[in-house]
Amino acid sequence: MRRRTLSRLTIAALSLGLVATLAPAAGADSASHTDSRPSHTDSRASYKRVGYFTQWGVYGRNFQVKDLETSGTAAKLTHINYAFGNVSTEGKCFTGNVPGEADAWADYVRPLDAAGSVDGVADTSDQPLAGNFNQLRELKAKHPGLKVLISLGGWSWSTHFSDAARTPASRRALVSSCIDLYIKGNLPADGARGGAGAATGLFDGIDLDWEWPGSAGDVDTVFRPEDKQNFTALVREFRTQLDAYAKSAQRHGKRKHYELTAFVPTAPAKIDAGFEVPKIMRDFDFVNLQGYDFHGSWETTTAQQSALFAQRGDFSVDQTVNDWLRRGAPAHKLVVGMPFYGQGWTGVTGGGDGLGQPATGPAPGAWANGSEDYEALRKLADSGTYSVHRDWRTGHAWLFDGTTLWTYDDPLVLLTKSAYVRAKGLGGAMFWSLDGDTPDGELITAVDRGLGRR
């Protein structure tokens, strides 16, 4: 099959057509947007819409699972990735109440009242499953076919992946522990919470967020040259054990398929250091491509963080997609990551629109300097203090007030990216993270309308 070649102008024209489809929805009730939502009863006919729900978002941001229902977001998703599960120094999946390492309280211990529950019923003191896990179970009951995956690792919790993947025995032990904890749902007892089978049926698969096999990640994350082959073997072990468990738990002639996915990098050097692409793609249902953090406040010059296209030698969504395609990944298994946050700098000098100019440091952010949720950036754009700039040819936008610059994705940028996903025959879109959207789900609505149905 001949791969379609897409020019920047072609994508811009497609996205401008999609803008017209978004306009009538302005101010409309999200519950009425039923024409392009994925069919949870036939997910193969739909583009994937994968949203990460962060464990810690229930605290400072006060973003609860129920918000996915009230915003209309849940009806527009095919998958929720719960971030994150951790791997211990012994090379096994674990949970508990260990500051900085695990948060069973948020996961399944914390009781929610009726007002905070998806089903409007308060948790009781003796139910074995509460917290985020129980709310996700309630959300799935309202949306049959919506899949929830446990995402393992992430930037901070990839520390022990390399050690755990080193030998056949260590890989078997890691995979077995993850399946026991999350797929079988055998949670550690915490008072009346947890116990054998407490979370059975909640998780529909596993998402691997090892950042990064074979190359540097967070400061304490171990990596080795042999990670590349060990990652392939680990993926095979996950696929083998998930399939074996599905067969053993088969009921009434129907065998459940547990999905296996991963978050994978944009940098060609990181792809080549850690991923045997043709081999791993046989075992993955799909992979979520890093489509953001191309540049950020760790640099001293402002730049785009998530552009669709860029100059040769720079990172972009198109570069990432093509690098994975060239290495043997099937297009329909590539899901494009889209940010629900922005990267920012302050002390920007040099005039103009601020892009490509020197800066003194990260812009102040509500939760971390240099980063801000889209919901807050939308308010800045509406304040009149910042000017909104966009480049239709390269597919990105930024805010600038003469001193502070934020590069981010707004609904028009996401429509452009949705057009690109459709035109390239890709698998869909992924969002990091759902708590960055507006209360009425402005960003997810834009992507939902842009992708429509295959």
Tell me which residues are annotated as active site: 211
Mutual orientation of helices 374-383 and 442-451 as an angle, nearest 10°?
100
C-alpha atoms less than 13 angstroms from C-alpha of 419 in its C-beta half-sphere: 26
Short-list 204, 206, 111, CA closest to 153:
206
How far apart are the C-alpha atoms of 49 and 80, rounded to whole Å?
A: 9
Backbone angle region of 133, left / alpha / beta, with phi > 0 → left and psi within -120 to 50 → alpha: alpha
**Which pair of tokens denotes residue 315?**
């990172």
CA–CA separation, 454 vs 452, rounded Å? 7
Instruction: Return the bridge partners of 259, or none.
Output: 205
Distance CA 388, CA 381 (A): 6
> For residue 372, what are the β-bridge partners?
342
Q: Which residues contact 311 (CB under 8 A, 6 or more apart)?
A: none
Q: How far apart are CA 176 and CA 157, in angstroms?
A: 19
Q: How many residues can be counted in the chain?
A: 454
Radius of gyration of the chain measured on its C-alpha atoms: 21
Task: Please give the helix or strand (H or E) that residue 93 lies within, else none.
Answer: strand 93-94
d(CA 203, CA 138) in angstroms, rounded, equals 13
Query: Do 26 and 412 contact (CB within 8 A), yes or no?
Result: no
DSSP secondary-structure letter at 108?
I
Q: HSE, CB side, 13 Å, CA atoms: give it for residue 384.
A: 0
